[in-house]
Structures are given as structure tokens and as C-alpha cells.
């Protein structure tokens, strides 16, 4: 998440490709990176607590995780990674970083659809099927305040 974008940025400079910086681009980039890091940390916490495992393939969750942000999108960790990479692209402003973001988003979608989801169907069966019917793969169906209330309900 750090080395590849920096390498791509230096390659962008060597090729003399344009930069797309505007007055708020660094602020937008910082916000996206920070938001992505916070979401990733929360997803790790939720997977450990409710899934009794980790996001790492060598110790995957023992049960399907549908709590936290996973109740609003099936892939909050990928969305967090997208936010971080897009944030780096905004912060540094290099054309190749925006292309890198688009390429990764395309490849991650292929991976999720062709590899990850079939594996989860095998592991969790009907429970995962019901989850897929209820929760979208990528896009959130609720507003940010609704999501926050869902994760941290008022007492």
C-alpha cells in the first residue's frame, strides 16, 4: 500500500506524465487514506471478535462475519483498500496512480466474483447465500449516518 504507489509515482515522474493536483487534492487524499485505515482496523477487530479468526488466509474466520461494516457491504476491507489507494492518488496527483487504482479495482472485483465468493459459498453454504441476498457486494444502500447508528446503536 506504500511501496507500490511510491514506485508508480516515481515511474510517472520519469515518464514525464502529468500530475493532477488542485487546491483540495492533498486534503481529500489524507481524508481517504485515514478513513481507509480506520475501516481496515475496525474490520480486523470485527473479524477477530465475531469470526473467531483473522482476515489472513492461514487463519480465516471460523464463522461468517455479518457484524460491523459487513452488515452494509460484503467487502468493506476491499473498499478500505480502494480508499487508501485513491487517497494516495489524490495526495500525490500522479496519473499512473489513478490508472493503478482503476486496474486494482477491476482485478479485485474479478477475484471476489470468481474466487472468493465461490469459496465462501462452499464454506458457509445457505448462510452465505442469504447474506448475499441481503447485503450488496460493493455499494452501500444506506447513508453514512444510518451506518454509524447501525454499528453504534443508541441506548
Residue 146 structural domain:
3-151
What's 65's domain CATH number?
A: 1.20.120.1630
pLDDT digit string, tens, across residues 76-120:
999 999 999 999 999 999 999 999 999 999 999 999 999 999 999
The number of distinct structural domains making up the chain is: 1
Kindly report the length of the chain: 155
Q: In terms of Cα–Cα distance, which of 87, 74, 3 is closest to 37?
A: 87
Question: What whole-number percentage of the chain has pLDDT above 90?
Answer: 68
Do 128 and 66 touch, CB atoms closer than 8 A? Answer: no
State the Cα–Cα distance between residues 34 and 147, nearest whole angstrom. 18
State the Cα–Cα distance between residues 46 and 66, nearest whole angstrom. 9
Q: What is the mean pLDDT of the chain?
A: 90
Amino acid at each position: 500500500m506504500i511501496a507500490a504507489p511510491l514506485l508508480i509515482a516515481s515511474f510517472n515522474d520519469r515518464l514525464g506524465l502529468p500530475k493532477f493536483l488542485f487546491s483540495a487534492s492533498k486534503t481529500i487524499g489524507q481524508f481517504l487514506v485515514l478513513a481507509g485505515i480506520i475501516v481496515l482496523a475496525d474490520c480486523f477487530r470485527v473479524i477477530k471478535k465475531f469470526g473467531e479468526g483473522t482476515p489472513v488466509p492461514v487463519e480465516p474466520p471460523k464463522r461468517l462475519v455479518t457484524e460491523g461494516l459487513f452488515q452494509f457491504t460484503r467487502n468493506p476491507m476491499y473498499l478500505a483498500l480502494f480508499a487508501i489507494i485513491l487517497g494516495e492518488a489524490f495526495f500525490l496527483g500522479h496519473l499512473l496512480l489513478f490508472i493503478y487504482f482503476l486496474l486494482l479495482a477491476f482485478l479485485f472485483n474479478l477475484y471476489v466474483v470468481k474466487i472468493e465468493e465461490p469459496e465462501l459459498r462452499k464454506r458457509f453454504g445457505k448462510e452465505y447465500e442469504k447474506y448475499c441476498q441481503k447485503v450488496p457486494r460493493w455499494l452501500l444502500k444506506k447513508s453514512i449516518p444510518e451506518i454509524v447508528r447501525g454499528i453504534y446503536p443508541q441506548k
